[in-house]
Amino acid sequence: MTRKTFLTCTVIVALCGLSISAAFGWRSHQQPGQPYAAASWKQHFKDTKELVKGSDAVVLARADSVAPGRVAYSSGGDDSLAFEVVNFTVVDGLKGEKDGSTVSVERVSSTAPDGSDTAYFNFDGGNFQVGGTYLLFLKKQEDGGPFYYQINDQGRFHDEGGQLVAVAPDDPVAAAFHGRPVKEGKALVKQSLK
């Protein structure tokens, strides 16, 4: 094989490799415009009836406060994951909680215990806005703890000017609520309870 043939073959193989990489893996090579976290949820529902049935509580609630929660450590103790607790007042208890009661939702925190920003977790919709109102589909902690957790990305809707805004508006179940007036969203929950 001559040197010219070898170089030509090398260039062709390199170009083929880059083309395949670009065609199949371009998204993994691009840097996002902003930080983004992804999650695999334990439960994912096919329709609104399943979502309501799978929830221990469904509430329209106002976020009152956010406080630091527990810290979970890796088995080796090298890594930690901080949680926060968001306290809500139930405006309308649709399932599992009464109007006026307080529910506390535990979620992964965006702030480390020392106060420094470590990572921004937005797979669940990101930080709750204190004073904001949300339609929430909640699950009790499996270990019998005192807190709820958001059932998945299908289970959180922010009330923005009387309209429900989904975390995952492209999801077919979330789309059933997304963009609807809050009153219609509550009616859909009540209909799904039948």
CATH code of the domain containing 184: 2.40.50.120
pLDDT for res 37? 46
Residue 63: inside a domain: yes
pLDDT for res 117? 53
When divided into structural domains, the chain yields a total of 1
pLDDT for res 143? 80
CB 87, CB 58: distance < 8 Å? no
Residue 43: inside a domain: no
> Six-digit token pair at 41?
């949820």
Residue 8: inside a domain: no
- The secondary structure of residue 176, as a DSSP letter, is T
pLDDT for res 124? 66
Residue 28: inside a domain: no
Ranges of residues in the chain with a pLDDT under 70 are: 1, 6-7, 9-11, 13-42, 110-125
Q: What would the 3-class secondary structure string for 67-95 be?
A: EEEEEEECCCCCCEEEEEEEEEEEEEEEE
Enclosing domain of residue 52: 48-192
Residue 36: inside a domain: no
Indicate yes or no: pTM above 0.75: no
Report the C-alpha gap between 83 and 168 in whole angstroms: 22
Residue 14: inside a domain: no
Report the C-alpha gap between 67 and 105 in whole angstroms: 10
Residue 12: inside a domain: no
Residue 20: inside a domain: no
pLDDT for res 69? 80
CB 153, CB 124: distance < 8 Å? yes
pLDDT for res 36? 46
| Torsional class of 144: left (φ above 0), alpha (ψ -120 to 50), beta (otherwise) | left
Contacts of 180 (CB under 8 A, 6+ apart): 163, 164, 188
pLDDT for res 186? 96
Q: Which DSSP string corresponds to 91-152?
A: EEEEESS-TT-EEEEEEE-SB-TTS-B-----TT-SSPPTT-EEEEEEEE-TT--S-EEE--
